[in-house]
Amino acid sequence: MIRYFARRAGHGFLMLFGVSILLFLLFQTAPGDFLSEIKMNSQISPETITMLRAQYGLDQPLPVRYWQWLKSSARGDFGYSFAYNTPASTLLWPRASNTLLLSVPALLISWLIAVPLGVLAAGWKGRWADRLFSGGTSALLALPDVLIALLALLVALKTGMFPVGGMTSINAQDQSTWAWLRDLGWHMLLPVAALVVGSLTIILRHVRASVIEVLESSYMRAAEGHGLPRFKLLFGYALPAAANPLISLFGLSVAMLLSVSLLIEVVMSWPGIGPLLLEAILARDLFVVIGAVMLSTVFLIAGNLLGDVLLYAFDPRIRRQA
Amino acid sequence: MTSGNLGLPKPEPLLRVSALSVDYDAAGGDAVRAVRNLDLEIAGGESVGVLGESGSGKSSLALALMRLLPKNARVASGSIEFHGQSVLGLSPARLRELRGGEVALISQEPALALNPVLSLGKQLADLLVAHAKLARQQVNVRCTEMLRHVGFTDPERILGAYPHELSGGQRQRVAIAQALICRPNLLIADEPLSALDVATQAEILDLLQRLKRDLGLAMLFITHNAGALASLADNIVVMREGETVARGPMGELQATRDDYVQGILFPEKSLANAAHTAPSIESCAPLLEVRGLSKRFVQKRMLSRKEFVVQSLDGIDLSLSAGSTVAVLGRSGSGKSTLARCIAGFETADAGEILLDGNLITTAEKNKGGVLPPVQMIFQDAATSLNPRFTAQQIVTEPLEIARWKTEAERTSRALKLMEEVGLDPDWALRLAGEFSGGQRQRLALARALAAEPKLLIMDEALSGLDMPLQAQMVRLLMDLQSRHGLTYLYISHDLNFISLFAQEVVVMDAGRIVERTTPEKLGQSVHPATRELVEAGERLHAPGVEAAV
C-alpha cells in the first residue's frame, strides 16, 4: 500500500519537473522580458540595461537559468522577484495560504452539498423535484464565473451587509484574535459562496448521473428485491458503487476550483495568488509567474493524490491491484 | 398441485396468480403485452417451473411478482396473492418486508447481483438487519451458517471477501445465500444457470435441490432449458409470447403433441432428421493444421519485477479436414478461446505453427486488395461484437470494403443475398444492429463472417448466449450452410449441446492441453476426469429422453 502511494507521489514529482521545464521554454518563446519596458525609456542608457540584464541573470542561456532556478528552489527561494526585489517565496507563501483559505472551505462545502443532493435527485429521477433540480443546475451552469463574482459584489453593495472585497477590515490589526477571526470569516463569506455556486453545479450533475447509472444496474435491482430500505439503497449501496468516477472528479475539481478561485480573487480583491499572478504576468516578473503556476500545480497534484487515497479506501478492486 | 393428496382438503396455496397481464409501453404510445392472462398456483414446498424461449414473458412474470417491473411496464390486469394477501395493493413498508423476507428473487445475472464495492459479509448482514432485529453476534452466526449451507467450507473468508475475488459459481452461491438468509417461503429463480459454465450449472442445480428439500422451500424456477426442470419441478408451465401454452408435470408434457412444447423440451429432436445428412468426411489433405502451438501470458506491472505467468496453450496439435466440423470442449479458462484467437490471428503464438492449406498463416499476405481473408470468427456475444449504430447492411459489407472487394453495388447485392441465406429478411438491411433480437444478431454475425467466403469458420461459444430453441435453429442453419458451401467449422463450446449432431471429431481441452481426442459417439465412454465432468454435467441438465431423440 505504501509502495502504491510512493509510486503515485513519485509520478507527481516527475510531473512538477515537467511543468517547470515547460514553463521555462514557454517564457523563452514569449516576446520581451522584465526589462523591455525600461528599454523604451530614452533616459536609461543601453549600458545600464546590459548591466541590469547581467545582474538579473537574463543574459545567461536557458539551461543555466533553469539550473540557477533549481538551486534557488532547493534553498526555498524559488527565484527572485524583479519587481519586488525579494525572493519569490516571500511573496508566494502568504498569497498561497490566502488562496487555500478560500478554496479548501469552498471545496468541502461544494462536495458536502453536492453528494447528498445529487444522490437524492438520482433517486427522484423523472419526478418534478428532479426536473426542477436539473433545470436549476443547467441555469447555474450557464452563468459565467465572473458574473457570479460580480453578482456577489452587487449583493454586498446593495445590501451593505457584507464587505465589498478585501480580506480584512482596515482596523483589523487592533482587534482581539476572536474579533479578527470573525472579521475574516465575514470577508470570506461572499467569495466562498461565489466559488461554491460556481463549482457546485458540475459536481452535482456528475453525482446525479453516476448514481443514476448505478441505480439501473442489476445489483441494485437485486438489492431492491431483497427489501432493503430506500435510504440504505441510495446511500449505502448506490453511492459507494458510484463513487469511483466521482473520486476521480474530486481531483479534477481541485483544479477547477483553483482556476475559478484565481478569477474570483481578482474580481473581489482577495489577496490570493490570483491578483499576484495577474500582476506578475503583466510585469513579466518571470520567477513569480513560474512560482505561482508551480504552486497551482502542487495543489492540483495534492488534490489528485488525495483522490487516489480516497479511491484506495473506497474501492476494493483498486486495493487489490495496489 | 402435487398429485395424491389422499382426500385431504386442498391446502390454501402460498402464491396464487390469476389472470395476470403485464404491459410494456412501446414507441408511439402503444402497449406491448408481455404476459397474458396467466394463472399460476404454488403450494408451500412445491416447485413450479416456467419454461419458455426468450421473449415469452417469463422474466416479466418474475419481476411482476416482486413488483420490480421497470418504469415503462405495469400490471394491466389480474391479481397476485401471497398467503391470501394481495401483493399489488401492499404499502411500501409491507412490500419491503415481503421482498427478501418472505419471497426472494435470484435474478437473471446472479453474478452481477452483488454490489462490487461492498464486502459480501456486509451485503449478507444488511439483509438480516433489514428484516429482523438481531444482535451483531447473531447476525454473524446466521451469515456463517447460511454460507455453510450453500456449500462454502470457509465462510469466514467469504464474509470478508469482495465479489471480484470469487468465481462465477461462488458468486452464484453467495447470491443464493443472500436470497435465503431471511428464510423466505418462496424463492423465485429467474434463469439462475444461464450465465454459468455447464459444470457449475450442475453444481448449482444440485444445491438448489438440496436447499429446497432441507428448508421446505417453495420455488418458481424460470428457465429456457427444459433439462434443468426435469429433476427439480413438480409442475411446469410452458409460456409462449406471454401466453400459457401447456402445463403439467414433465412426463405429461413430454407426451403432448404441441410443436412448440416439443421444440422447447427436445430442442435437439428437431434436428434429428438433418443429422444423417451431415457429411462424413474422409478427405485427404487437411485444411488447417496446428503443430505444437504454445502461448503464455505474462502479467507484469510497472516498477515491479514480479511476473505472473499463465500458460494458456501448451503444445497444441490439431488438424481439420476440409468440410468437417471439429468441436473443442472445455471449462472456462481451459485455453480454448486462446486457441481460436491464435488461429484467427488475434494473438501471436509463442511457439508452434499454424498451416492453412499448407501455407503458414503468419506468412500469409494481409489486406491485399481484392483478396478475402480465409478464416473468419463468430463471437459469443453478438450484442457486443456488432456495432449497434451500424445498419445490417454496413455490418455485412464491412469485411468486403476492407478487402476492397469489387464495387459498392456488388457488395450491397451480396450483403442482401447473404442476409437471405442466414434467414434474415433483406428488407431489414437498413435497420440498425441494435434493433435486432439476440438470435437475429447472431445470424447477422454469421452473414458477416460468410461475406468473406471463408474456408474456415471459427465459432467461439457462438451459440452459448442463445436459448435452446434458437440454438437448435442456428445449428440447423450452420449444417445447411456447410453442405452448401463446403465450409469447415471449428466449434468451441463449454457444453455438449448438439455436439453429437454436427461434429465429426471432439477435442477436450484442460489447462492449455488437449487431454482427449474422440468422436461424439464415444464421448460418453471417456474415462478422463475433464471429459467426465463435462459429460456428467451435460447429462444432469438434459431432460430424460433427449439422448434417445438424437
Q: Give CA separation, B99 vs A113, A160, B16, B87, B335, in Å.
A: 32, 58, 16, 10, 41
Give A205→chain B minimum CA distance, Å: 22
Classify residue A104 by burial, with Cβ atoms within 10 Å: 0-12, 13-18, 19+.
middle
Match 438440496 to its residue by C-alpha cell: B210
Q: How many CB pairs (< 8 A) connect A and B?
A: 85
Yes or no, beta carbons of B100 and A243 under 8 Å apart = no
Residue B549 clears pLDDT 70, i.e. is over it:
no
Give yes or no for B14 touching A (CB within 8 A). no
From CA B423, how far away is CA B262, in angstroms rounded? 22
Residue A171 clears pLDDT 80, i.e. is over it:
no
Q: Chain A contacts of B165, Cβ < 8 Å?
A: 320
Nearest CA in chain B to A237: B115
Q: Chain B contacts of A218, Cβ < 8 Å?
A: 107-109, 112-113
Yes or no, beta carbons of B126 and A7 under 8 Å apart = no
User: A322 and A29 in contact (C-beta within 8 Å)?
Assistant: no
From CA B2, how far away is CA B61, in angstroms rounded? 22
B229-272: per-residue pLDDT in tens? 888 888 999 988 888 888 888 888 888 888 888 888 887 666 65
| Average pLDDT of chain A, as a whole number | 86
Average pLDDT in the B314-342 region?
Answer: 86
Residue B340 cell numbers, joined: 481460436
Give yes or no for A314 touching B (CB within 8 A). yes
User: A227 and B97 in contact (C-beta within 8 Å)?
Assistant: yes
> What angle do the packed helices A286-314 and A88-123 form, to 10 degrees?
40
Give B42→chain A minimum CA distance, Å: 20
Would you state the pLDDT for residue A49?
Answer: 83
Would you state the pLDDT for residue B276?
Answer: 44
User: B462 and B378 in contact (C-beta within 8 Å)?
Assistant: yes
Yes or no, beta carbons of A226 and B127 under 8 Å apart = yes
The DSSP secondary-structure symbol of B373 reads P
Strands (E), B204-335: 218-223, 235-240, 243-248, 286-300, 307-321, 325-329
Yes or no, beta carbons of A317 and B162 under 8 Å apart = yes
Yes or no, beta carbons of A225 and B68 under 8 Å apart = yes
Would you state the pLDDT for residue A310?
Answer: 86
Which of A117-126, B504-513, B540-549 is predicted least confidently?
B540-549
- Give a three-class secondary structure readout of chain A: CHHHHHHHHHHHHHHHHHHHHHHHHHHHHCCCCCCHHHHHCCCCCHHHHHHHHHHHCCCCCHHHHHHHHHHHHHHCCCCEECCCCEEHHHHHHHHHHHHHHHHHHHHHHHHHHHHHHHHHHHHCCCCHHHHHHHHHHHHHHHCCHHHHHHHHHHHHHHHCCCCCCCCCCHHHHHCCHHHHHHHHHHHHHHHHHHHHHHHHHHHHHHHHHHHHHHHCCHHHHHHHHCCCCHHHHHHHHHHHHHHHHHHHHHHHHHHHHHHHHHHHHHHCCCCCHHHHHHHHHHHCCHHHHHHHHHHHHHHHHHHHHHHHHHHHHHCHHHHHHC
Would you state the pLDDT for residue B370?
Answer: 53
B400-416: per-residue pLDDT in tens? 888 888 788 888 888 88
Give yes or no for B126 touching A (CB within 8 A). yes
Give yes or no for B71 touching A (CB within 8 A). yes
Give A141→chain B minimum CA distance, Å: 29
Q: Name the residue among A219, A241, A316 with its Cβ closest to that of B113.
A: A219
Residue B546 clears pLDDT 60, i.e. is over it:
no
Nearest CA in chain A to B93: A229
Yes or no, beta carbons of B117 and A315 under 8 Å apart = yes
Q: Chain A contacts of B179, Cβ < 8 Å?
A: 226
φ, ψ dihedrals at B333, nearest 5°? 85, 10
Yes or no, beta carbons of A240 and B178 under 8 Å apart = no
A35 pLDDT band, cuts 50/70/90, is confident
Residue A192 cell numbers, joined: 466562498
- With a pLDDT cut of 90, the percent of chain B lying above it is 15
Average pLDDT in the A269-280 region?
Answer: 90
Would you state the pLDDT for residue B107?
Answer: 77
Nearest CA in chain B to A226: B100
B443-456: per-residue pLDDT in tens? 889 899 888 888 89
> What angle do the packed helices A286-314 and A273-283 form, to 10 degrees?
140
Yes or no, beta carbons of A218 and B98 under 8 Å apart = no
Classify residue A91 by burial, with Cβ atoms within 10 Å: 0-12, 13-18, 19+.
buried
Catalogue the long-range contacts made by B142-151 (C-beta closer than 8 Å, 24 or more residues apart).
B142/B181, B143/B181, B146/B177, B146/B180, B146/B181, B147/B173, B147/B174, B147/B177, B149/B177, B149/B180, B149/B211, B149/B214, B150/B174, B150/B176, B150/B177, B150/B180, B150/B207, B150/B211, B151/B203, B151/B207
φ, ψ dihedrals at B456, nearest 5°? -120, 130
Yes or no, beta carbons of A232 and B126 under 8 Å apart = yes
Give B392→chain A minimum CA distance, Å: 28
Yes or no, beta carbons of A320 and B71 under 8 Å apart = no
Give yes or no for B28 touching A (CB within 8 A). no
Residue A143 cell numbers, joined: 452563468
Yes or no, beta carbons of B100 and A226 under 8 Å apart = yes
Nearest CA in chain A to B111: A219
B275-299: per-residue pLDDT in tens? 444 444 444 568 888 888 888 877 6
Q: Are strands B351-356 and A86-87 parallel, antiparallel or unpaired?
A: unpaired
Give yes or no for A11 touching B (CB within 8 A). no
Strongest mean pLDDT among A81-90, A112-121, B245-254, B468-477: A112-121
A109 pLDDT band, cuts 50/70/90, is very high
Yes or no, beta carbons of B117 and A225 under 8 Å apart = no
From CA A284, how far away is CA A56, in angstroms rounded? 13
From CA A229, how far away is CA B11, in angstroms rounded? 33
- Among residues B492, B464, B523, which one has the least CA distance to residue B201? B464
B92-120: per-residue pLDDT in tens? 899 999 998 899 998 766 667 899 889 99
Would you state the pLDDT for residue B64?
Answer: 92
Give yes or no for A2 touching B (CB within 8 A). no
Identity of the residue numbered B138: Q
Yes or no, beta carbons of B126 and A228 under 8 Å apart = yes
From CA A98, how far away is CA A187, in angstroms rounded? 12
The DSSP secondary-structure symbol of B335 reads S
From CA B36, how far away is CA B244, in angstroms rounded? 8
Q: Are strands B351-356 and B286-300 parallel, antiparallel or unpaired?
A: antiparallel
> What angle do the packed helices A62-75 and A2-29 form, to 10 degrees?
140
Mutate to test the interface with B, among A226, A244, A246, A314 (most CBs of B within 10 A): A226
Would you state the pLDDT for residue A238?
Answer: 94
- Among residues B151, B191, B201, B198, which one has the least CA distance to residue B174? B151
Give yes or no for B127 touching A (CB within 8 A). yes
Give yes or no for A75 touching B (CB within 8 A). no
Give A7→chain B minimum CA distance, Å: 9
Catalogue the long-range contacts made by B52-56 (C-beta closer than 8 Å, 24 or more residues apart).
B52/B224, B52/B238, B52/B239, B52/B240, B52/B264, B53/B224, B53/B240, B53/B264, B53/B467, B53/B468, B53/B469, B53/B470, B54/B224, B54/B437, B54/B438, B54/B439, B54/B467, B54/B470, B55/B241, B55/B437, B56/B239, B56/B240, B56/B241, B56/B242
B5 pLDDT band, cuts 50/70/90, is very low
From CA B364, how far away is CA B423, in angstroms rounded? 33
φ, ψ dihedrals at A34, nearest 5°? -60, -30
Yes or no, beta carbons of A226 and B165 under 8 Å apart = no
Q: Chain A contacts of B146, Cβ < 8 Å?
A: none
Average pLDDT in the A114-122 region?
Answer: 93
Would you state the pLDDT for residue B383?
Answer: 64
B415-436: per-residue pLDDT in tens? 888 888 888 888 888 888 877 7
B305 pLDDT band, cuts 50/70/90, is low
Give yes or no for A240 touching B (CB within 8 A). yes
Give yes or no for A216 touching B (CB within 8 A). no
Yes or no, beta carbons of B99 and A218 under 8 Å apart = no
Yes or no, beta carbons of B164 and A317 under 8 Å apart = yes
Q: Is B249 helix (H, G, I), strand (E, B) or coil?
A: coil
Residue B347 clears pLDDT 70, i.e. is over it:
yes
Higher pLDDT, A315 or B449: B449
- Among residues B51, B26, B23, which one has the least CA distance to residue B37? B23
Give yes or no for B117 touching A (CB within 8 A). yes
Q: Report how far Cα A107 is from the mean position of its chain's Cα atoms.
A: 9
Mutate to test the interface with B, among A3, A219, A235, A314 (most CBs of B within 10 A): A219
Average pLDDT in the A178-203 region?
Answer: 88
Q: Chain A contacts of B104, Cβ < 8 Å?
A: 225-226
Nearest CA in chain A to B105: A225
Q: Name the residue among B71, B105, B123 with its Cβ closest to that of A225.
A: B105
Residue B51 cell numbers, joined: 419454461
Give yes or no for A219 touching B (CB within 8 A). yes
Q: Report how far Cα B184 is from the mean position of its chain's Cα atoms.
A: 27
From CA A254, how far away is CA A107, in angstroms rounded? 7
Give A80→chain B minimum CA distance, Å: 38
Give yes or no for B179 touching A (CB within 8 A). yes
Give yes or no for B171 touching A (CB within 8 A). no
From CA A189, how far away is CA A172, in angstroms rounded? 17
From CA A71, how far away is CA A76, in angstroms rounded? 9
From CA A153, how far away is CA A158, in angstroms rounded? 9
Would you state the pLDDT for residue B270?
Answer: 61
